[in-house]
Structure 1
């Protein structure tokens, strides 16, 4: 298992370098002038040129990237052009809301999706119902669903807060209540995908010869499903769960905007609108690191359920 982890970590280093370099180049070709943003709309051409020199934007692109990379290796992702604050400090403070939202949504989707998948694996009308709900869940637009949930549960029923985020340290109850609607919104399409994959994987495992042997030995059906079939179906299900977590990162951009969450998604929207290039670069790096960590955890889970992966 240690070799598996070290191998995945070694592969992550060039991935981070490539992503950071490509992002840096793409940001450099975005329309607009970062020096103009800092100097202000009323600044003269001479003032803009002076700001460009102070920011180092007059240097070759490769030199700017090397300078940025040197700071990034020491945890310094630069300074925001808009509020002059450290990009690293800003993003660290925005990390908790995003991770709370995505983690809760993924856990909810995994639990409900696997449960529906196990029920649907028995076939018949229940299996068709799971398939139908999966298609419906994938077809529903998350932005529209978020607005409907706010109108029903926050505005009309008054059961849940419609906007904002409460830190867990400030109020665990407020933290949980504030996450219900956005997490449920993100969980719906992920639940549908996980349920469909779990249904197919468990049904395939239940059709294997070892299941007939266990039944002949008098092992209860519930034990066969939970202890044997589900374990054999774990690898494809884990793949979808990992993809659901990563997919929730992109979905969080719209959901955080709807529910006024101070997370990485909302920060990305604000930074793009303001032309805050260092902050955009920092958001991309943070999201890439999250994806790498999630993939590493999924690979470790693969190694637990499938020993062949450990030596692959």
Structure 2
């Protein structure tokens, strides 16, 4: 298991390095100008040229990248060219918002997706068709539209939840939960549908296997067969879908944060893109990729625990 974890971690870190390297050169070679973004549209050419020298943008791109990478490995992501603040401090203060939404959405999606998927697989007929319709609706509804409807209904009209704002869990756990409930539901609708559909198909396939018929012939209770054998063998595809849904939740959180007025990492990334703030964009990307790598590693470990054969693949 240790060697398997080491291999998966190495692959994840190499992927993270590839992503941030590609993004750095993409930003620097496609006309992005942090100096102009920092000074504004009305700055003179001389002011922009001076700012470029101050930011080190007059150096070769490869040299700028190696300098950024060496600093990043030491935990220094530089200073925001537009806001003149430490990039790590800026990200760390906003990251809990986005991580709370993404992890919350994945937990809700995993729980409800498994329940709905199992029910759809084990109850064929009208019940299954009804759940299939609900799953298709979950696929087709845009999460920002769901967010707007939920905000109007449960925050504005009923007043059960706050319409905007985020409360840190250390300040008040109950208010924190209220502040993320509607955003998490908005993010998780599509993920619930995806996981439920994947698990339903996998359970139906597994239920038709010979060993399941053998277990039934031995008189084992249906509940034991499903929970101890079928679900264990049917879950790996759903786990793969779960990792993809976490990536989708991290990216989709930016839109949901806008709807509910949450100052998360998505707002930081959007503002940095508008100002061509390369240091902040790279910092956000690095943190996001590392979080995705960690979550995918955790899912891979769970996958290996369920199916030991993958450890030697």
**What TM-score do you get using the length of structure 1 for normalisation?**
0.96
CA distance in 2, matches of 1:193, 1:56: 46
Q: Name the counterpart of 1:213.
A: 214
Q: Name the counterpart of 2:151.
A: 150
Maintained 8 Å contact 1:194/1:241: yes
CA distance in 2, matches of 1:221, 1:39: 68
Maintained 8 Å contact 1:130/1:195: no
Residue ranges of structure 2 left out of the alignment (5+ in a row): none
Aligned pair count reads 312
CA distance in 2, matches of 1:16, 1:198: 29
1:95 is aligned to 2:109: no
Maintained 8 Å contact 2:38/2:275: no
Spell out the pairing of 1:100-119 with structure 2 (5 A cutoff). 100-119=100-119
Q: Following TM superposition, by how much is the alpha carbon of 1:184 offset from its aligned partner in structure 2, in angstroms? A: 0.3
Q: Name the counterpart of 2:29.
A: 29
State the superposition RMSD in angstroms: 1.4
Spell out the pairing of 1:67-78 with structure 2 (5 A cutoff). 67-78=67-78
Spell out the pairing of 1:45-194 with structure 2 (5 A cutoff). 45-122=45-122, 123-194=124-195
CA distance in 1, matches of 2:53, 2:147: 45
Q: Name the counterpart of 2:262.
A: 261
Q: Following TM superposition, by how much is the alpha carbon of 1:285 offset from its aligned partner in structure 2, in angstroms? A: 1.1
What's the secondary structure of 1:233's corresponding residue? helix
What's the secondary structure of 2:162's corresponding residue? coil
Q: Deviations over 1:130-170 (max 9, x none)?
A: 22111110000111111010000001111111111100000
Q: Name the counterpart of 2:298.
A: 297
Maintained 8 Å contact 2:37/2:274: no
Residue ranges of structure 1 left out of the alignment (5+ in a row): none
Q: Following TM superposition, by how much is the alpha carbon of 1:242 offset from its aligned partner in structure 2, in angstroms? A: 1.1
Q: Deviations over 1:37-90 (max 9, x none)?
A: 334444433332222111100011111111111100101111111221111121
CA distance in 2, matches of 1:274, 1:47: 16
**What TM-score do you get using the length of structure 2 for normalisation?**
0.96
Q: Name the counterpart of 1:3.
A: 3
